[in-house]
């Protein structure tokens, strides 16, 4: 989804528009805190998006919507904060559907731990 200028109809807190020549797909406030999430589609690579800022609260929905719309590679290098809900959602993405790249080390470790926990739960149920 590409939105230009103003606010989108889906979120009451969206700030959409142009930034440094790239199209901002969505940006949402972080539940009233200082954090913001910005998802930018990379120029020349429509199936790639870069996430900047806080991936907390309902912001994960924006990322999941982008993935459902065709984003296959998500650059997480500029993510500075996440919550449990976002980590569970990212860890649960099938690798054939979406690739997470340039993940900060602290987040990569958290995702690995969450994937291990999910696998243990699945194995315990069989």
Give the domain CATH number at 86: 3.30.750
User: Cβ–Cβ contacts within 10 Å for residue 60, how many?
Assistant: 19
pLDDT tens profile 23-59: 333 344 434 444 678 888 877 777 999 999 999 998 9
Answer whether residue 4 is part of any domain. no
Beta-bridge partners for 105: none
Answer whether residue 1 is part of any domain. no
Q: Is the pLDDT of residue 3 over 80?
A: no
Answer whether residue 7 is part of any domain. no
Average pLDDT, the chain: 76
Answer whether residue 12 is part of any domain. no
Q: Sorting pLDDT into bands at 50, 70 and 90, what band is 86?
A: very high
Q: Is the pLDDT of residue 112 over 60?
A: yes
pLDDT in the model for residue 11:
40
Domain count, the chain: 1
Q: Residue 93 sits in which domain range?
A: 18-124
Answer whether residue 5 is part of any domain. no
Answer whether residue 46 is part of any domain. yes
CB 50 within 8 A of CB 42: yes
Cβ-in-10-Å burial (0-12, 13-18, 19+) of 36 comes to middle
Q: Is the pLDDT of residue 64 over 50?
A: yes
Q: What is the largest distance, in Å, between two alpha-carbon atoms of the chain?
A: 51
pTM above 0.85?
A: no
pLDDT tens profile 91-101: 999 988 899 99
Answer whether residue 6 is part of any domain. no
What is the rounded distance in angstroms from the CA atom of residue 119 to the CA atom of residue 124? 8
Answer whether residue 109 is part of any domain. yes
């Amino acid at each position: 989804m590409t939105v230009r200028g103003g606010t989108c109809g889906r979120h009451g807190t969206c700030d959409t528009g142009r930034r440094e020549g790239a199209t901002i797909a969505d940006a949402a406030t972080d539940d009233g805190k200082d954090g913001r999430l910005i998802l930018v589609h990379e120029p020349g690579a429509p199936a790639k998006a870069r996430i900047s800022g806080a991936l907390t609260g309902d912001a994960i929905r924006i990322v999941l919507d982008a993935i459902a719309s065709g984003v296959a590679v998500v650059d997480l290098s500029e993510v500075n904060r996440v919550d449990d809900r976002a980590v569970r959602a990212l860890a649960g993405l099938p690798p054939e559907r979406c690739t997470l790249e340039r993940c900060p080390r602290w987040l990569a470790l958290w995702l690995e731990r969450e994937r291990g926990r999910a696998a243990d739960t699945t194995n315990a149920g069989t």
